[in-house]
């Protein structure tokens, strides 16, 4: 029961943080019913866009870390269940700092090589000092996103508990359940919402575990196995 409760809170953490952040993708469906190697899964409906702003990326990172943040807030301990979430946000943070020029310390510089020639190089296109700065900024960016998630969950702990409890009781929840608990999102949603009866399982999307979200819907799954004590999404 303890593991199932941990999974429920993990998924509820993702859903709660994403619901409270303007640029995070809203929930379509979440389940804690095991399927194959997945112990739990959630589907989100991302807004279609050609470019992404810094604010949008930071909100997505905080939502991806909502599962681990929920574990810490509720149980006072964390598990291996956030592996894919951590992988996702780490790669995203490194891309923001070293590829997209979205970091003030590094500036408007990109070390991305679209020609593919860098794979034939014996060294990095920047100094060791710059490498240290990149590492520092990535760590700071991820930690700030994590603290945002924790703060949101603490401020809405009652709703987090209600969502996790309902998920434990019903095992499958939809957007309508979040509306009942949180109320409608205060942010304008620019995308269609799937009805409760929609077959969201058939929607394509990138799977990530709740060690563990473009498609019509994004899926996050939590894989089972010795390396996972308790995923989301998969997101995340």
| DSSP sequence for 76-131 | S---GGGHHHHHHHHHHHHHHHHTS---TTT-S-----TTSGGGG-SS-SS-HHHH
Q: Give residue for tokens 């979040």.
A: 178
The mean-pLDDT minimum among 23-32, 48-57, 182-191 falls in 182-191
The pLDDT confidence band at residue 146, using thresholds 50, 70 and 90, is very high
Instruction: For 158-205, write each residue's pLDDT tens digit.
Output: 999 999 999 999 999 999 999 999 999 887 655 444 455 444 444 434
Of residues 148 and 122, more confidence is placed in 148
In this prediction, residues 112-123 reach a mean pLDDT of 73
Structural domains in the chain, sorted by start: 2-223 (1.20.58.760)
Instruction: For 81-101, write each residue's pLDDT tens digit.
Output: 899 899 999 999 999 999 999
The pLDDT confidence band at residue 220, using thresholds 50, 70 and 90, is low
Which structure tokens are listed for 49? 């866009």
Catalytic residues: 11
Say if CB 83 and CB 91 are below 8 A apart: no
Say if CB 81 and CB 6 are below 8 A apart: yes
* pLDDT, position 217: 43
The answer on pLDDT for 118 being more than 90 is: no
> Of 142, 65, 130, which Cα lies nearest the Cα of 96?
142
The mean-pLDDT minimum among 41-45, 73-77, 157-161, 174-178 falls in 41-45
In this prediction, residues 111-140 reach a mean pLDDT of 86
């Amino acid at each position: 029961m303890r593991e199932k409760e941990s999974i429920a809170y993990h998924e509820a953490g993702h859903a709660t943080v994403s619901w409270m952040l303007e640029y995070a993708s809203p929930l379509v469906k979440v389940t804690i019913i095991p399927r194959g190697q997945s112990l739990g899964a959630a589907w989100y409906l991302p807004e279609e866009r050609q470019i992404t702003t810094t604010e949008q990326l930071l909100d997505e990172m905080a939502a991806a870390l909502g599962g681990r943040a929920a574990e810490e807030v509720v149980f006072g301990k964390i598990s291996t269940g956030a592996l894919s979430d951590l992988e996702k946000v780490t790669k995203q943070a490194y891309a923001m700092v070293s590829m997209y020029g979205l970091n003030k310390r590094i500036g408007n510089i990109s070390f991305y090589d679209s020609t593919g020639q860098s794979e034939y190089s014996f060294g990095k296109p920047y100094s060791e000092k710059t490498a240290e700065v990149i590492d520092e900024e990535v760590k700071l960016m991820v930690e700030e996103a994590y603290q945002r998630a924790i703060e949101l969950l603490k401020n809405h702990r009652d709703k987090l508990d209600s969502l996790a409890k309902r998920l434990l009781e019903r095992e499958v929840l939809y957007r309508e359940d979040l509306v009942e608990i949180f109320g409608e999102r205060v942010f304008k949603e620019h995308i269609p919402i799937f009805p409760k009866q929609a077959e969201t399982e058939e929607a394509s999307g990138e799977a990530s575990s709740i060690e563990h979200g473009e498609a019509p819907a994004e899926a996050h799954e939590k894989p089972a196995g010795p390396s996972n004590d308790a995923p989301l999404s998969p997101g995340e």
